[in-house]
Amino acid sequence: MTISTDKLLSLYRTMVLIRQCEEQLARSYAAGTITGACHTYVGEEAIATGVCAHLRHDDAVFSTHRGHGHALAKGVPPRELVAELFGRETGCSGGRGGSMHLFSPEVGMMGTSGIVGPCILQAAGAGYSFQLLETDQVGVAFFGDGAVGNGAFHEGINLATIYDLPVVFICENNMYATEVAFAYSARNTDVAGRAAGYGLHAEQVDGNDVVAVYEAAEEAVARARSGGGPSLMECRTYRTRVHAEGMGESGYRSQEEIDSWKARDPMVAFAKRVVEAGDLTDADLQAVDEEITEQVADAVTFATDSPWPDPATVADHIYGEGA
């Protein structure tokens, strides 16, 4: 492992931040503080963490309905995330979005989405801008296995490939789209293999191994930045909570399967590995855990104390220039 101790600690910190935020949001949902949908990223934290570690604020991330982790990893402050889900004016979208519409262009978080698919096309579009403007910025799309059967996957990957756009496509293959198994939706479940058929670099990665994701993303992001064109990473992973808070496990997957993936928790595996290797100590990790616990508590207080948006502003900003 050639990753510096600082970097290892920061990977751990991001994963813990996502996990603790998600668990808090789940509690707030259960308490009725959050209305609307709330899809958590628990079990998949290693992917956003490993990828976004290579991104700058001026790189553009386009995400999905399961996007809290992407937002946090890209640098959206937890206060703004929690306030957004609480529907407050101080949320990253001013309370206009909620869980599925997290926008923070200031840090290159160009939106989570209530629609499966468009993020793939929009990331290609960011790549188009960066190529035309001759910058070294990169567009990144995060999407699930559910998007692979959507036309946007085909069209976006093809466009990015034929135009050599600086884009990284991250498929988070957690084997299910809501309750439909990917193996049902696709005869060929090898997403990386399928993508490679379009003529771009594609690789399958263990999405529960933050180091594997980090290393693969390093290569893909560097390729895009240096004009080498797009790449796709298929990150195999698993969502260990229900599809959306408030839903149950209706029997579409077995308890054994869930338990086997819980045993492969990306945070726990990483902690074990770095401590065994002597890179970090239990005390280092515990300090991070405590720091994040405080940060999340602060975010909840901040959100709770924040004002509601002013209904008088409800029709503002439909147009950029006077209507």
Partner 1 sequence: MASGEMARREMTYTEAALEALTAAMVRDPTIFVLGEGIGERGGNFNTTKGLYQRFGPRRLRDTPICERGFVGLCTGAAMTGTRPIVDFMFIDFILDAVGELTNQIAKIQYMTSGRLKMPVLLRGCVGVGGGAATHHSGSYFPFFVNVPGFRVVVPTTPYDAKGLLATALRCDDPVLYLEHKSLLNVRGDVPEEDFAIPFGEARVCREGTDVTIVGVGPLVPKSLAAAESLAAEGISVEVIDPRTLAPLDMETILSSVGKTGKLLVADESFGPCGIGAEIAAQVMDQGFDDLAAPVRRLNGVHTPTPYSPPLEAAVVPSVEQVAVAVRELAAE
In the list 29, 103, 143, 302, the residue contacting partner 1 (rule: CB under 8 A) is 103
Q: Write the burial class of residue 33 (CB in 10 Å: 0-12 exposed, 13-18 middle, 19+ buried).
A: middle
Residue number, 66 or 225, with CB nearest to ligand TPP = 66
| Farthest CA pair distance, the chain | 62
Angle at alpha carbon of residue 184, lines to 151 and 68, rounded to 5°: 65
Cα distance between residue 323 and residue 316, in whole Å: 10
Cα distance between residue 71 and residue 103, in whole Å: 8
In the list 51, 72, 85, 126, the residue contacting partner 1 (rule: CB under 8 A) is 126
Cα distance between residue 218 and residue 214, in whole Å: 6
**Sites for ligand TPP among residues 126-145 (CB under 6 A):** 144-145
Compute CA 15 distance to the chain's CA centroid, rounded to the nearest angstrom: 11
Tell whether residue 193 is a contact of partner 1 (CB under 8 A): no
Min. distance of Cβ 117 from ligand TPP in angstroms? 6
Min. distance of Cβ 289 from Mg ion in angstroms? 28
Tell whether residue 146 is a contact of ligand TPP (CB under 6 A): yes
Beta carbons of 153 and 116 less than 8 angstroms apart: no
Tell whether residue 145 is a contact of Mg ion (CB under 5 A): yes
Min. distance of Cβ 143 from partner 1 in angstroms? 12
Instruction: Choose the stretch contacting ligand TPP; rule: CB under 6 A; options: 6-14, 53-61, 75-83, 115-123.
Output: 115-123
Residue listed under structure tokens 């600082």 = 6
Tell whether residue 93 is a contact of partner 1 (CB under 8 A): yes
SS3 state at 310? coil
Q: Which residues on adjacent β-strands are paired with residue 141?
A: 62, 169
Considering only CA atoms, give the Rg of the chain. 19
Min. distance of Cβ 112 from ligand TPP in angstroms? 11
Given the rule CB under 8 A, which residues bind partner 1?
60, 62, 93-94, 96-97, 101, 103, 105-106, 110-111, 114-115, 117-118, 120-133, 137, 139, 151-152, 154-156, 158-159, 162-163, 316-321, 323
Given the rule CB under 6 A, which residues bind ligand TPP?
65-66, 114-117, 144-147, 174, 176-178, 243
